[in-house]
Amino acid sequence: MAFEPLGAGALDYAPCRYGMSRLLFRGPQRRLDGAYCAVLGGTETYGKFVLRPYPDLVEDLLGVTVVNLGCMHAGPDAFLDDEAILTVCGGARAVAVQVTGAHNMNNGYYAVHPRRNDRFLRATPALRALCRRIDFTEFSFTRHLLSALQARAPDAFLRVVEELRGVWVARTRTLLQRLQGRAVLLWMSGHAPEAALAALEPSGDPVLVDRPMIEAVRPFAAAVVEVVISPAARACGTAGMHFAPLETPAAERVPGPAAHAEVARALAPVLRRLMA
């Protein structure tokens, strides 16, 4: 098991695994021998730099164990390829699925790491044919790749975006179907889906996901919860967050405690109704 070194002010995330899964989740590990809910998601669900992320707060509000299955930089592929985690979700009374970006997935133009979905592995022949002058060995991360395509090969970028959006809908639909009507789809962002940006600034998360994509998968979810983080919560910045000085830029790009509290207050009543 790999552990990240802790600097001054950093949190101990007590990373753990469930069953035979190769994914690392935030601990402490929860017991699965009683009633529980599960939350699938990426970095925001994991709660990077936040002492008590929204799954913990939902647990307080519901009085039922909530298993945090947020995985750093995960997209739908990470969970669809992990039968151990789908088994954990199968035993849950309800499952929340965070909407993650469309960039961290295998697709017709590039492949990503099976666990660290933000890691760009290789371009497919289709992408190499589109961008013959680009040296793909210079890219290690999907966001860097897409930003470069947007700047240097805008026509190719638009074709890749179209592919990613289609793949995201297909994979998210499949994931929701695997959860058999017990899934709540959770949008958490500083903007509503209508305002999703094609540009790849950090404020655009979840990257490339827009309203038509949410509506395309809505029939496969028991409910959709949309949380647009309030200006007041965003204004809190990194207040109440825990990180080493060198981590400040990263901390500024993820939701803080006030945002997590807003998400928990919106999500908990919907999970409660679903469990009933």
pLDDT at residue 177, as a whole number? 97
Q: Read off the pLDDT band of 4 (50, 70, 90).
A: very low
Q: Read off the pLDDT band of 14 (50, 70, 90).
A: very high
Q: Read off the pLDDT band of 92 (50, 70, 90).
A: very high
pLDDT at residue 195, as a whole number? 64
Measured between alpha carbons, how far is 162 from 107 in angstroms, rounded to an integer? 11
pLDDT at residue 6, as a whole number? 45
CATH architecture of 36-275: 3-Layer(aba) Sandwich (3.40)
Instruction: Over range 192-205, report the average pLDDT.
Output: 66
**pTM for this structure?**
0.93
Q: Please, where are the H alpha helices in the chain?
A: 43-46, 54-62, 76-80, 83-90, 125-130, 142-152, 154-178, 211-217, 231-235, 248-251, 257-275
Cα dihedral angle (25, 31, 34, 36), rounded to 10 degrees? -20
Q: Out of 35-49, 119-133, 140-154, 182-196, which region has the weakest mean confidence (pLDDT)? A: 182-196
pLDDT at residue 202, as a whole number? 45
Tell me, what amino acid is at 122? R
3-state DSSP assignment of residue 270 = helix
pLDDT at 152 over 90: yes
Q: Running DSSP on this structure, what letter comes out for residue 97?
A: E
Instruction: Over range 168-187, report the average pLDDT.
Output: 97
Q: Are 117 and 54 in contact (CB under 8 A)?
A: no
Mean pLDDT of the chain: 93
Q: Read off the pLDDT band of 276 (50, 70, 90).
A: confident
pLDDT at 74 over 60: yes
Domain boundaries, the chain: 36-275
Instruction: Over range 9-19, report the average pLDDT.
Output: 90
Q: Running DSSP on this structure, what letter comes out for residue 16?
A: B
Measured between alpha carbons, how far is 254 from 234 in angstroms, rounded to an integer? 10
pLDDT at residue 1, as a whole number? 38
Instruction: Over range 253-257, report the average pLDDT.
Output: 95
Q: Running DSSP on this structure, what letter comes out for residue 196?
A: -
